[in-house]
Amino acid sequence: MGASPSTTIEQLAEDFMQHPFELFERLRAGGPAHEIVMPHGAKVWMVTRYDDVRALLTDPRVSKDGRRMNEMFNRHSGAPVEDEEPTGPGFDDDLSAHMMNSDPPRHTRLRTLVSKAFTAKRMQNLRPRIEQVTGELLDAMADSAELDLVSAFTMHLPVTILFDLLGIPQQDRDVFREWANKLVGAGHDPDEVAEASRQLIDYANALIDAKRVNPDEALVSALVRVTDDGDRLTQSELVAMIFLLVVAGSETPMNQLGNAVYHLLTHRDELSKLRADLSLMPAAVEELMRFDGGVGTASFRFTAADVTVGDVVIPAGEIIVLSLSSANRDSAHFADANRLDLNRRPRGALAFGHGIHYCIGAPLAKLTMEIGLSRLITRYPDLRLAAEPQQLQWKNSTLVHGLTALPVLVSPVDRA
């Protein structure tokens, strides 16, 4: 019948990501789907239970067609979204026309081509570089008694590896990062977003052209070369893919790594268990990602037809928000889900999504976390929070859950 289980539509506060798990637990208990108003004003249907979220991630009636998202936001809020979704004012449509914002058959074609370049071997070949960068960043921390671990470590490690992967020259990385920040962060002036969009497109086009003439072993060159029965990525598709990789490969891994360190530092028994046996690290990363994977809600989708969730019918043409964080804390699927247990070995966790849009960079993200965490907790066994947990600030975002800063006390191992 399309009715919400509640008679009123809840408006989420701008800072709801400061304490999202309490909200998600309440919504899970209250019903399978809820009409709510997001902080930026869009009315959406939020789904929070594990079984429902997992099913809808593969439901063909739930669309990610980026060409229609502004239409949906205009219909349900009266204005385009101005948050992390790359469809806001000033944003060039070419950048949002990537495979994350597409449905089959277009998505199938793009994913097939990109997968030929984004190979497991290419990711594993980055291991020595990840180890090198990790060591350099940890060395740079050695003379500090107190520092912000986000700016000193958890931000720089994944971003440096991302730029290495893409083959972006060292001298261009700072300005490239500035463009990306304006395009994916909230609250920027539309004119600044438009200018950053233009500059990034111009740069990406020049980078692609340069790789055509002088190919190397980096990912952009591989994407230029890939074919499937004669089909290739077009120039505009390559530009959009570079943007997607920058967005997905910087903000999310930074939050994942930062959240993992934070939760280890606030669960000292689990940290001691891990430090005593680093062979637990792969399983520990899986559990840390389940516990707080850095993505609060999956990127926006909409219903292309009526969809039944439990006893609720979500009508066609409605924006739908699938909470990955909530699903991963659903005790109906993960026993005692609010407890961090590095021996858990969670099956089916949704930190990287599920189905055709499962994160193509998941193996690299896990590898980076395994190396980064192993080296950090070994090199600095007395690492401590330099503030009370309740004093820390989380990003005001509708999508991601990550700390703005992680102040720590550093006490390095005596290397004499």
Would residue 102 count as lying in a domain?
yes
pLDDT average, residue stretch 223-236: 93
Would residue 317 count as lying in a domain?
yes
- Top pLDDT among 237 and 73 is at 237
pLDDT of res. 1: 43
Structural domain of 394? 10-409
In this prediction the pTM is 0.90
Would residue 4 count as lying in a domain?
no
Q: How would you write the chain as a 3-class SS string?
A: CCCCCCCCCEECCCCHHHCHHHHHHHHHHHCCEEEEECCCCCEEEEECCHHHHHHHCCCCCEECCHHHHHHHHHHHHCCCCCCCCCCCCCCCHHHHCCHHHCCCCHHHHHHHHHHHHCCHHHHHCCHHHHHHHHHHHHHHHCCCCEEEHHHHHHCHHHHHHHHHHHCCCHHHHHHHHHHHHHHHCCCCCHHHHHHHHHHHHHHHHHHHHHHHHCCCCCHHHHHHHCCECCECCCHHHHHHHHHHHHHHHHHHHHHHHHHHHHHHHCCHHHHHHHHHCHHHHHHHHHHHHHHHCCECCCCCEEECCCEEECCEEECCCCEEEECHHHHHCCCCCCCCCCCCCCCCCCCCCCCCCCHHHCCCCHHHHHHHHHHHHHHHHHHCCCCEECCCHHHCCECCCCCECCECCCEEECCCCCCC
Task: Provide the number of structural domains found in the chain.
Answer: 1
Would residue 3 count as lying in a domain?
no
Would residue 2 count as lying in a domain?
no
- Top pLDDT among 303 and 84 is at 303
Would residue 5 count as lying in a domain?
no
pLDDT of res. 193: 82
pLDDT of res. 186: 57
Span 184-215, pLDDT tens digits: 655 667 888 888 888 989 999 999 999 999 99
Would residue 414 count as lying in a domain?
no
Q: Which region among 162-166, 182-186, 279-283 has the lowest average model confidence (pLDDT)?
A: 182-186
Would residue 305 count as lying in a domain?
yes
pLDDT of res. 282: 96
Q: Kindly report the CATH number assigned to the domain that includes residue 205.
A: 1.10.630.10
